[in-house]
Structure formats: structure tokens, C-alpha cells
Amino acid sequence: MTATWLGIEHNDLVPIEANHQLHQDVLPDFEAMQKAALEQGINVNLVSSYRTFDKQLSIWNRKWCGELPILDMQGKPTAIDLLSDQQKMHAILTWSALPGTSRHHWGTDFDVYDRQAVLNSGISFELVDEEYRPGGPCAELADWLTHHAHQFGFFRPFETYRGGVACELWHLSHRTTAMQYEKLRSCEQLAAKLSSSQIAGKSTVLAHIESVYHRYVLNQGTSL
């Protein structure tokens, strides 16, 4: 199971839509939620679902070297040249998980949007907070999820910003299935996997791995 919580392998995935995969124990509840929302005129479409360690590594490395933008708390791109390696690490971690620690590795977590509402709005969708707030194309979806997602076994692990991961109204988790993976997490196993990986900024990450683990992986923020 070590390999599974770290996103290295997964034997319980099922395909959904053209390019997504979810844990087989999550799919029925996801489809039931989708159907219930649609009856209210709201679409629950996947933006992102299962993701491997290697995919997360690629996202991380491209952010570290400046190929992908690093966003500030307001979701606007930051000038990374002005940041120390440690500041850059924290800036990335606010929005992107360390490879091996993404809840997307489990097939239990996914990001959603209302594709039709976005199309109708004519905006170019960026998966940012304001799109899910009043006036945004996914505001109705976000409100519906707040009231109904729990009825289908889902919750938002990043609903409140505590100084760790930013608030992500679009990210849902299947509580009972995700709990099985949460129990497996270990800072030691993570450090071992990252040590042998090609992660950019490795020495910075490993030097701070314990605090990073509590602040962002367990998402306990800076409250400790």
C-alpha cells in the first residue's frame, strides 16, 4: 500500500469520461451526485481526477524552474526570481502538492467545475477562487456542493485556509475511501521516495520535510 498512497501504483481505478479515472469505490457516489445536481440544472464535471506521482513531479518541476506560473494567495502569478528557494517551495505548496502527497494519487479526490456555465459565461476558465464565488460561473455549483456533497459521502479537505493549502472550493474527497489512504501516510516513506526521485529543489524540500509534512500534507497550517 506504500506505493498506492504515494501515487506509484493503483489497482482499483475505473475510467470515467474520456480521460479521467476514479477509485472504483468512489464512482457510484460521484455519479449519483452528478445526477442529483443535474436535476437542479447544475453540472458537476471533472477538471482533474486521479494523478500519478510522475504527473505531480512534472507539475512540481515545471513550477520550480518557472515553466509554469507560481501563484500568490490571490491566484495571481508571482515573480519567482525574487524568491529564495525556501520561499519558492512554500509558494508552490500553497497550490500544488509535493509529488507523493497529492490526494489525487488515491483516486478518491477530484476537482470539479460546471462546464456549461463556464461556456455560457465566455470566460477562459483558470480554476481560480473567484470563479466559485458569487458572480462567478461556478458559484451555483459551489453553493450546491456546500449543501449537498456530504449526502453522497464527499467533503472538501481544503475548505478553510489555515496557513497550509489554499482554499479550494472545487476539490472534493470521498471521505470513507480517502480515510484508508490518510492512515497510510508517513513522513519517513515520503522522504525516502523523494530522495530517490528527480524532484527539483530536492535539498530544500528534504531539509524542511517534517514541517512541510505537517503544514501542507496534513494541512495543519502554521497553527502548531
Q: How far is the CB of 222 from Zn ion (least distance, A)?
A: 21
Cα–Cα distance for residue pair 209/200, rounded to 1 Å: 14
- By CB under 5 A, is residue 129 in contact with Zn ion? no
Supply the minimum distance, in Å, between the C-beta of residue 207 and Zn ion.
27
Q: Which residue lies nearer to Zn ion by CB, 96 or 197?
A: 96
Task: Tell me the residue type at 156.
Answer: R
- In the complex, the smallest distance separating the C-beta of residue 111 from Zn ion, rounded to whole angstroms, is 4
How many angstroms separate the CA atoms of 120 and 13, rounded? 32
143 binds Zn ion (CB under 5 A): no
Q: Where does this chain touch Zn ion (CB under 5 A) — which range of 19-27, 34-42, 171-179, 204-212?
A: 171-179
Q: Which is nearer to Zn ion, 57 or 204 (CB)?
A: 57
* Sole binder of Zn ion in the list 105, 171, 174, 193 (CB under 5 A): 171
Site track 87-116 with Zn ion (rule: CB under 5 A), x = hit: ------------------------x-----
Stretch that binds Zn ion, among 68-76, 169-177, 181-189, 202-210 (CB under 5 A): 169-177
Q: How is residue 23 written as a grid cell?
A: 477509485
Q: Which amino acid is at 88?
A: K
Q: Determine phi and psi for 178, rounding to 5 degrees.
A: -65, -35
Query: Hey, what amino acid is at 109?
Result: D
Q: For residues 116 and 60, give the distance between their C-alpha atoms in angstroms, rounded to a whole number.
A: 30
Radius of gyration of the chain (CA): 17
Binding window for Zn ion (CB under 5 A); candidates: 54-62, 81-89, 165-173, 192-200: 165-173
Q: For residue 144, give the nearest of 43, 60, 62 by alpha carbon.
A: 43
Q: Nearest approach, Cβ of 151 to Zn ion (angstroms)? A: 21
Provide DSSP, 102-129. -GGGGTSEEEEE-HHHHHHHTPPP---G
Name the residue nearer to Zn ion (CB basis): 12 or 111.
Answer: 111
Decide: helix, strand or coil at residue 199. Answer: coil
Query: Which residue's Cβ has the minimum distance to Zn ion?
Result: 171
- What is the binding site for Zn ion (CB under 5 A)? 111, 171
